[in-house]
Chain A
Amino acid sequence: NAGVTQTPKFRVLKTGQSMTLLCAQDMNHEYMYWYRQDPGMGLRLIHYSVGEGTTAKGEVPDGYNVSRLKKQNFLLGLESAAPSQTSVYFCASTDRTNQPQHFGDGTRLSIL
């Protein structure tokens, strides 16, 4: 059972480039989340989804877009990467409220 898988694990981009981070879960969870973690800080919610075809903004959504076309996949897009988006990105999922979230191992993204 793979749980939550994030692709890619590492990426270096130049300012202005675009890319998509993929999150896939095999637990049939309804809720999925994208976080970013910066040094010395906790996880900050970028966007989330409460089911297939739905998305909503989190705490720090600017500069990012998301899509949830299939229940098992949650994509995070950067249309025009900026150095301030250098971070480690984590995807998570859960099956209902007030339950633990299951996390992927993260994508380390550097933007030069």
Chain B
Amino acid sequence: DQQVKQNSPSLSVQEGRISILNCDYTNSMFDYFLWYKKYPAEGPTFLISISSIKDKNEDGRFTVFLNKSAKHLSLHIVPSQPGDSAVYFCAASTNTNAGKSTFGDGTTLTVKP
């Protein structure tokens, strides 16, 4: 049973427009959510996170929204830039599991110039 799901394997947007990446989870014990960005031949790098006590967190062009009742989070990138083209992983963890995170399968974002 996959506890973290990213149902869109890929997304293509035009430069300057908004990119919205979605993630659903099933484990109600998750209390911390993260987004990682991964370029080819590199390891994932942390992008933005949100605690379950919040419903929104912003960092520059990146905003993460959390809807706990729906067990859904989304990452908004505004405006999208060609350098944002990468694989984005959603991850979730709890405060009691040795720092372990459960990852989604990733969404490949392509931003076209």
Contacts and interface: CB of A to CB of B under 8 A. Distances in A.
Interface residues of B, number: 29
B25 interface: no
B46 A101 contact: yes
B98 A50 contact: yes
A99 B99 contact: yes
A90 B95 CA distance: 22
B46 A97 contact: no
A11 to B, nearest CB: 15
A50 B98 CA distance: 6
Interface string A68-104: 0000000000000000000000101010111111111
A43 B34 contact: no
Contacts of B6: 42
Interface string B43-60: 111100101000000000
A40 B9 contact: yes
Given A42-B105, A98-B51, A100-B46, A48 B89 contact: no
Nearest to B101: A101
B73 to A, nearest CB: 15
Nearest to A98: B32
A106 B43 contact: yes
A42 B104 contact: yes
Nearest to B47: A100
Given A42-B89, A42-B104, A43-B89, A97 B43 contact: no
A45 interface: yes
Contacts of A4: 43
A96 B105 contact: no
B100 A105 contact: no
Contacts of A105: 41-43
B104 A97 contact: no
Contacts of B34: 100
11 contacts: A31-B98, A42-B6, A44-B103, A48-B98, A56-B98, A92-B43, A97-B96, A101-B101, A102-B46, A106-B41, A106-B42
